[in-house]
A and B are shown apart, each in its own frame.
Chain A
């Protein structure tokens, strides 16, 4: 068994599902001949051919709309947004068509939208956002955010098998940074959080790239005697509320962290649920660590000032522990 990257894990998961189920197909811009802007689908065109690997015109709404139509007819499209940011151009298809179909008239829409998201790559205002909160509040959509190589594979496979529209946020910063060895069938259940690290003093509830940074901070703090429990949500919708509450009941102190901007970010929802359901277990107010409420800036100095840094997570944890 050789090591693979987070990006290769996505590819492997998709490939396995393509081989397993003839209804699965890939659709997007530059995914065939070029193998995708990030090469996630490299080699697919050679292996599966057109139209199962379908390079389309540059039309996000048509890509997502056609995915909805094909999915209603029983195919299982995996649509790629070249960058998560461009999903704004196809927003309506997801929030109005895909999300409401089953509730309205019982039509299943088994589609996956892959959204290369996040910063740390100096992508600037239009190539580095984390738009998961736009969708996490839409009943009918599922939202998953893998933070490890294992879940990158396990969640894409589960998303493809799911009979609902699933938005799969894959983090560009993690693409080639994370490596792991995977054996056997890897399937991550959608809606189950993961205790990434056990700890007694404080819970860090997070997802996506902040799991990576949070784990590093937790290791550092452990050397200083603070045991951080890191909860990797993996799935925002459905949300594993019980896993969050269980950790809160254990540690009584919580820091919620995400790379997305703060106001209206998903962290607010987590904090509210903790306040509603575990208030009496808290020994300190819930703190949020998130990006500043600005567009994502381009210059390294600005992007680093914008995005939550390990030092910010560390400070919030120490303040919460000291409260």
Chain B
């Protein structure tokens, strides 16, 4: 089937200029860059561990979508609660989850966050204000509405944020959740990551609508569209939504346009994706393009880039070593903790 990577017109998706970039604090911008580099480094490491046979189950890469995760999460306070999905590794790192925690979970270690009971990045940590997803796509949306409801009931000015794919957005829970959030004006933000595919299925087979953002109208809530690979634009758009939510003005649906640069999971060679699409999106790689912009603005140079690379490498090595040193899951505890005491 002939494919283009979008249906809506270019102009509708918000992006940022160099002028916009200069309005932001260099510390914030370098932080975004650094967290994207960390995310890709960890993503690459997970893939490598899989190829070495050290990981047994599915590896889901978020390559090419790091900016979306990092930029949106950067718009939050640390006490806001996120519900990361499988391609939001960058959100977990940005919100304070240490790399070893992710790796211990992938490696099924006894003292990982799920003690080997669940794999990949499927875990949560209340200490870090992170709720674990379940595999059933869109289920997190009503659950994060409940998190937002708890803020509203306790009169806390916190916000709940989660993500959903172009495919997952067609599950009933997406609609029940957004409608519920709209009626109750919950402090909730939903980011729809339109990465053109759901496993092998292109967006044309997911919806007859011209885009995903238009759905917000049906729930009486505002929406926004953003270039998902423009990390700064994602940050800005999310920030506006977060501030609205924090101020009591209710939820927002944000559609971010991006591209899944790998197969669905590591077993999938994604032969069904036209090569031109990969080529086109490779040019829009969020890390490379952001680095380029930072260099133009004289915020990043070879020296700083090198320093960040070295620091990230050190962190990755140390954290991987730590994770690999942990004991394997213990069958003696297989039956434990099904119930809270």
Residues of A in contact with B (beta carbons under 8 Å apart): 25, 51-52, 56-57, 59, 61-62, 64-75, 77, 92-93, 96-97, 100-110, 139-140, 142, 163-164
Contacts and interface: CB of A to CB of B under 8 A. Distances in A.
A67 B341 CA distance: 20
29 contacts: A52-B153, A56-B180, A56-B183, A56-B184, A59-B176, A62-B142, A62-B145, A62-B180, A65-B139, A65-B173, A65-B176, A66-B149, A66-B180, A69-B149, A70-B153, A71-B146, A92-B136, A92-B139, A92-B173, A96-B134, A96-B135, A97-B134, A101-B132, A105-B123, A107-B132, A109-B340, A140-B338, A142-B339, A164-B339
Contact of B173 (A52, A61, A109, A142): A61
B180 A57 contact: yes
Given A59-B180, A62-B180, A104 B150 contact: no
B145 A66 contact: yes
B172 A61 contact: yes
B150 A65 contact: no
Contacts of B160: 69
Interface string B44-82: 000000000000000000000000000000000000010
Contact of A69 (B117, B150, B183, B340): B150
A188 B134 CA distance: 33
B146 A69 contact: yes
Contacts of A72: 126, 131, 143, 146-147
A283 to B, nearest CB: 34
A90 B313 CA distance: 45
Nearest to A56: B180
A164 B135 CA distance: 21
Contacts of A107: 124, 126, 131-132
B117 A104 contact: yes
A72 B150 CA distance: 9
Interface string B188-220: 000000000000000000000000000000000
A70 B150 contact: yes
Most chain B Cβ neighbours within 10 Å, of A25, A66, A67: A66
Contacts of A92: 136, 139, 173
B179 interface: yes
A105 B132 contact: yes
A222 B239 CA distance: 74
Contacts of A75: 150, 153
A108 B180 contact: no
Interface residues of B, number: 43
A61 B132 contact: no
B144 interface: yes
Contact of B179 (A57, A69, A70, A97): A57
A130 B102 CA distance: 42
B222 to A, nearest CB: 19
Closest 5 CB pairs of A and B: A69-B146, A65-B142, A66-B146, A73-B150, A62-B176
B93 interface: no
Contacts of A108: 340
B143 A105 contact: no
B339 A105 contact: no
A105 B83 CA distance: 14
Given A56-B184, A102-B338, 6 more contacts: A62-B180, A68-B146, A72-B147, A77-B146, A101-B132, A105-B124
Interface in B167-190: 172-173, 176-177, 179-180, 183-184
Given A56-B180, A92-B139, A100 B134 contact: yes
B337 interface: yes
A97 B173 CA distance: 13
A61 B176 CA distance: 7
A104 B118 contact: yes
Contacts of A65: 139, 141-143, 145-146, 173, 176-177
Contacts of B337: 102-103, 106
A163 B177 contact: no
Nearest to A102: B340
B340 A163 contact: yes
Contacts of A68: 142-143, 146
Most chain A Cβ neighbours within 10 Å, of B114, B125, B131, B152: B131
A182 B182 CA distance: 43
B113 interface: yes
Contacts of B257: none
Contacts of B148: 69
Contact of B338 (A71, A110, A139): A139
A105 B184 CA distance: 29
B122 interface: yes
Contacts of A62: 142, 145, 173, 176-177, 179-180
Most chain A Cβ neighbours within 10 Å, of B136, B146, B172, B183: B146
A61 B136 CA distance: 13
Nearest to A110: B340
Nearest to B183: A57
Contacts of A97: 134, 136, 139, 143
